[in-house]
Chains A and B, each alone.
Chain A
Amino acid sequence: NAGVTQTPKFRVLKTGQSMTLLCAQDMNHEYMYWYRQDPGMGLRLIHYSVGEGTTAKGEVPDGYNVSRLKKQNFLLGLESAAPSQTSVYFCASSFRGLFYNQPQHFGDGTRLSIL
């Protein structure tokens, strides 16, 4: 039972480069989320999706784009990486329509460094 899988686990980029982080879940969850975690701060929501083909902005969406072309995948893109985007990125998923008792299931994170 894989749950939520994130690839890659580590990446180093140069300023201005682009990349895509992939999140895949095998639990048939409708909702998917991308967070970033920075030292001394809680998890902050970047973007989220309430279903296939839908995306919405979270708290810190600037500099990121997302796509949810398939229900099981949620992609996070950095078009032009900046040092301020150095962080640990977590993907999560949860069931649709069950607002209570709906803990999010997290992947193990992607550690991204922008030089």
Chain B
Amino acid sequence: DQQVKQNSPSLSVQEGRISILNCDYTNSMFDYFLWYKKYPAEGPTFLISISSIKDKNEDGRFTVFLNKSAKHLSLHIVPSQPGDSAVYFCAAMPQAGSGTYKYIFGTGTRLKVLA
């Protein structure tokens, strides 16, 4: 039962264009979402997050959008750069007080930015 889904295993984008990575979730009790970026042979590194009380959070070239009614979030990278080529994981955190201190991770999307 995959509660957090990244349906696109890979994505290729031209340098300078927008990259859009998508993530769907099934549990409405998630109320905090994060995106992690992972390079080969390294651990995931935190990229950007969003609380369920917001619908958008922006940090430089990275913007995360949350559509609670659709249970969908997306990461936009504008403009895309070759150094953005990595695997991107979305993760969801259950509500505080739920007794669950863990993230639920998606399966990842491999982004390749073409020079």
A and B are partners in one complex rather than unrelated chains? yes
- Residues on A facing B (Cβ under 8 Å): 4, 31, 33, 35, 40-45, 48, 50, 56, 58-59, 90, 92, 99-101, 103-109
B105 nearest in chain A by CB position: A42
Q: Assess the B44–A100 pair: CB atoms within 8 A.
A: no
Give chain B nearest CB distance to A96 CB in angstroms.
10
Checking A33, A101, A106, A107 against B102 with a beta-carbon cut-off of 8 angstroms, the contacting residue is A33
Chain A interface secondary structure, helix, strand, loop or mixed? loop
- The segment out of B13-21, B45-53, B66-74, B76-84 that lies at the interface is B45-53
Give chain A nearest CB distance to B5 CB in angstroms.
9
- Provide the bound-state CA to CA distance between A56 and B101, in Å: 10
Contact of B41 with A by CB under 8 A: yes
For chain B, the count of residues having a C-beta within 8 Å of the partner chain is 26
A-B contact pairs, 27 of them (CB 8 A): A4-B43, A31-B101, A35-B105, A41-B107, A42-B89, A42-B105, A42-B106, A44-B105, A45-B103, A50-B101, A56-B101, A58-B102, A59-B102, A90-B44, A92-B43, A99-B32, A100-B32, A100-B96, A101-B49, A103-B34, A103-B46, A103-B49, A105-B46, A106-B43, A107-B43, A108-B42, A108-B43
Give chain B nearest CB distance to A33 CB in angstroms.
7
Q: Assess the A104–B107 pair: CB atoms within 8 A.
A: no
Checking B45, B89, B93, B101 against A43 with a beta-carbon cut-off of 8 angstroms, the contacting residue is B89
Contact of B111 with A by CB under 8 A: no
Give chain A nearest CB distance to B95 CB in angstroms.
9
Residues of A within 8 A of B32 (CB): 99-100
